[in-house]
Amino acid sequence: MKIVLTDSQTVFDNKVTAEPLNEFGEVKDYGLLRYDEIANAIAKADIVVCNKTLLNEDTLKSAKNLKYIGLFATGYNNIDIEYCSKHGITVCNAGSYSNNAVAQHTFALILEHFNNTANYNQYVQDGLWKRSKTFSPFVYPLSELAGKTIGIVGFGNIGKAVAKIANAFEMNVIAYNRSEKSAENVKFVSLEELIESSDIVTVHCPLNAQSENMFNKETFAKMKHGALFVNTARGGVMNENDLYDALNSGHLGGACIDTLKVEPMEQNCILMQAKNCIITPHIAWAPVETRLRLMDIVTSNIRNYLNGTPTNVVNP
């Protein structure tokens, strides 16, 4: 078996490596391929494993031996599923590996917004507490999560994990999902009701034709004045220019973003000039334990495919 890794640099470090894949054959690790390098690199591959590499007709058409694509990810919008199905290429993703990690990061962002921990630490590091007239200087606003309404858009495994944490904070939890769902201590509502009534709107749905640019000028305008928008899903679900306008107009109280439409961030990304916007570089999924779990799933997916019992298949 010839196994090609097209963008392992996005997953591996000195603690998480490709070693488990060696049991299946010859592994060629390219680190991080440019788009114009992909077709040649995978031309003789039996298996390709990738994270965000764009595998479309142009990059796949020369890979005549390719029968399997494994993803270091849950999302698979970078794969031409129709082409793969037509040419007998099985595509398997790695669902559920990052549920707790993304939920944890979601609340790390929310807590930073409402507690201003980094700002208060900087206040102390700058020596300003030493000069304060009071023992508790109220320099930055603080607010409790208890009693606030959090609206969860997309109630898959990550959405469920977020709801569990929110309940622990004694928040009012509402959710919207395209298919019918039920969960204890969660009220399911329409998307419009969620947007209009939430103090915090947090997105946990996949990027697809229905969700692309779901959060735009009209959506942000319907949100509560001072509400917080959180996106740890995919950058494509929001219009960055419209979010900038909603923040700088003062309509939204803040945004916490872990993912953008173009990554790494572009030099002229407008959100760098947005008010009250916390941005982290797509690392919600990336704790060491999470990536080790991811490798276990990716390895298991390949083993099951080769044994004739494929798991986590995303194409017919």
Distance (Å, whole) CA 233 – CA 217 = 19
Active site residue 303: no
Give the active site residue among 105, 113, 234, 293: 234
Active site residue 234: yes
User: Helices in the chain by DSSP H: which ranges?
Assistant: 35-42, 57-60, 81-86, 99-115, 117-125, 157-168, 191-197, 217-222, 240-248, 288-306
Give the active site residue among 19, 263, 266, 289: 263
First to last CA, the chain: 23
CB atoms within 10 A of CB 313: 13
Give the active site residue among 105, 113, 204, 282: 282
Of the candidates 150, 88, 81, 82, the residue with the CA atom closest to the CA atom of residue 114 = 150
Which tokens sit at 5? Answer: 């890794």
Active site residue 282: yes
Distance (Å, whole) CA 69 – CA 265 = 27
User: Mind telling me the catalytic residues?
Assistant: 234, 263, 282
